[in-house]
């Protein structure tokens, strides 16, 4: 059984939604975890990207390592420009590479500093997720103690994650 890259449905859905909602027709490609020697070969699946402007779409940003890896792959492909990045969830983690070790920055801040022409957008941030879980906790607070415990546990886990890894 072949492993399917989770980014394929995401990028295909984004391209489909842009066409359906805004009549914008974009080509799309994705990168493989490992290069293939047969078929199309290589690590990029999709049309030729040399000389094209590229906008990256990813499900989550943690340290920014995966996005940097993709940028390196695209530079080998000689893309004209990487215009931006959209991620579904920004975990707001401390970056691996920072400008000033005394002041932590997020992975998104680090990428935008390193690539000043490239803006990184997120649909949802870790803080948005915390607010959502807090709202769910308040809604079930009076009616269902089992649900209250479930949402309280989720909230505690996410807040601890942010305390340990976040900016």
Q: What is the set of active-site residues?
A: 36, 38
CA atoms of 95 and 57, how far apart (whole Å): 19
CA atoms within 13 A on the CB side of 66: 15
Neighbours of 129 (CB within 10 A): 19
Q: Which of 45, 63, 37 is nearest to 5 (CA)?
A: 45
Q: Which of 20, 7, 22, 19 is nearest to 70 (CA)?
A: 7
First to last CA, the chain: 40
The answer to whether the CB of 35 falls within 8 A of the CB of 41 is yes
């Amino acid at each position: 059984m072949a492993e399917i890259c989770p980014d394929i449905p995401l990028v295909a859905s984004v391209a489909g939604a842009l066409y359906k909602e805004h009549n914008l027709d974009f080509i799309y490609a994705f990168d493989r975890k490992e290069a293939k020697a047969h078929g199309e070969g290589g690590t990029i699946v999709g049309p030729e990207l040399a000389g094209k402007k590229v906008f990256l779409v990813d499900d989550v940003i943690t340290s920014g390592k995966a996005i940097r890896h993709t940028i390196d792959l695209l530079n080998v492909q000689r893309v004209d420009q990487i215009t931006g990045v959209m991620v579904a969830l920004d975990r707001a983690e401390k970056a691996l590479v920072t400008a000033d070790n005394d002041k932590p920055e997020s992975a998104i801040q680090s990428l935008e500093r390193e690539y000043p022409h490239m803006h990184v957008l997120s649909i949802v941030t870790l803080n948005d997720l915390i607010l959502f879980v807090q709202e769910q906790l308040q809604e079930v607070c009076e009616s269902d103690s089992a649900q209250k415990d479930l949402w309280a546990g989720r909230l505690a886990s996410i807040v601890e994650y942010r305390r340990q890894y976040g900016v």
